[in-house]
Amino acid sequence: MSRFFTETYYFLVALEPRYKIVLFLVISLLILAAAMIVIVLRERSRKNSVENRERRISRNVEPIIQEIVFSESDGGEFKDAIKKINRIVDSALYRKSNMAILNELILYYHRNLGGEAFNRLEMLYREIGLKQIALDNLRIGEWHIKAINDLSTMRMGESLFDILQYTDYENQNVRYEAQYAAVKLGGKKAMGFLDDLDTPMSEWQQIRLLDQSLKFEYELIDRMGKWLRSDNNSVVVFGLMIMRNLNQYHEKGELRKLLYHKDEKVQEKAIDTARELAYAECLENLYEVYELTKKIRIKKQILCAMGDLGGSKEVGFLRETIAREKEYDLVFEAAQSLKRLGRRDVLVSYKEQELSEKGESIVKHILDDRI
């Protein structure tokens, strides 16, 4: 044997450098391939083990969950059921992953059932220790979003304070999930986090929170003024969305101030809100804003609002705008507003010398009943 290794050694030493390189690469590839095979086999074995445990736990636990959910078991039977489940998931090595499997199973039943079954599943979630695991995960920071989502899905209202700690978190996804869960669990009282929110909210997040807020129906939201006075423009916009969709008329004074806001999005939303709430008292403010602003989009919105809120005075203003304004979009918007006010007669009464060629074509277009 020693002779074989000796001859092999001298053979390798005698090889030309290029053959040594090729041989080294071949051996390296073989070692790498062997390592990959070992890794794949180990991963497949681990995956099969997890799947087998998941099937075993599901097979043994589901009948117990169904018995808890669909039968009127008393307190003693409920405790016995919890003991049975604990024995099934108990493991020195796999306790954590077994509880994760149980967690998904209870969440699945909770999403697909309702009524009294909800309350029984939520009680089970607490008593079995899954709520505490979710809270621990939330505090540790490994699974923020998952923990928040699970707690809100299972309606763990007592975890609201813990979730509120993350409503202004540095990670956008975490804070968005925390904000949504807070409103879902705590209702309008939990929306106090908006009072001091420093981070911006995206339009999609505002829509998500609004969707939850619509469940308040027409309850009075007394924090509205704070939101409309916030330094966070996204909070101001959201406050206007709430004002508009829940008919919160008690902060009209703040709404009038926002018509002059320096941020264009806030200004646009304020004009739109005034129009949707049929707040005709703000027309005087709209005249001022129209003269002050140089932004065509804001001017267009004001002309549109006049078409919904206006009277005889606005008819005169719109008529003058069509005659003297050179910006196509503004002339078009003014003409449309006159038509919405039911004043086709004003559009018809223009003399040829009063309008530019562009203005005349716009008026003819608006008067066309086919459009």
Helix or strand run (H / E) with residue 355: none
- Classified as helix, coil or strand, 69 is helix
pLDDT score of 284: 93
Across 87-101, 140-154, 159-173, 223-237, least confident range: 87-101
Q: How do residues 131-140 score in pLDDT, each as one tens digit?
A: 999 999 888 8
Average pLDDT over residues 263-274: 95
What distance in Å separates the CA atoms of residue 347 and residue 326, rounded to the nearest whole number?
17
pLDDT score of 360: 66
Across 44-48, 106-110, 327-331, least confident range: 44-48
**For the chain, what are the domain ranges?**
282-371
Instruction: Say which residues have a Cβ less than 8 Å from residue 329's Cβ, sequence separation at least 6.
Output: 296, 300
Residue 11 banded pLDDT, cuts 50, 70, 90: low
Average pLDDT over residues 39-57: 80
Average pLDDT over residues 42-65: 81
pLDDT score of 258: 96
pLDDT score of 352: 56
When the pLDDT of each residue in the chain is averaged and rounded to a whole number, the result is: 85
Higher pLDDT, 216 or 284: 284
Residue 68 has pLDDT above 60, yes or no: yes
Residue 199 banded pLDDT, cuts 50, 70, 90: very high
Sign of CA dihedral 235, 241, 242, 244: positive
Across 35-39, 73-77, 331-335, least confident range: 73-77
Within 10 angstroms of residue 358's Cβ, the number of other Cβ atoms is: 14
Average pLDDT over residues 325-337: 86
Across 8-22, 32-46, 234-248, 312-326, least confident range: 8-22
Average pLDDT over residues 214-231: 86
Residue 358 banded pLDDT, cuts 50, 70, 90: low
Residue 370 banded pLDDT, cuts 50, 70, 90: low
- Locus of tokens 């589901």: 62
Sign of CA dihedral 262, 263, 264, 266: negative
- Classified as helix, coil or strand, 202 is coil
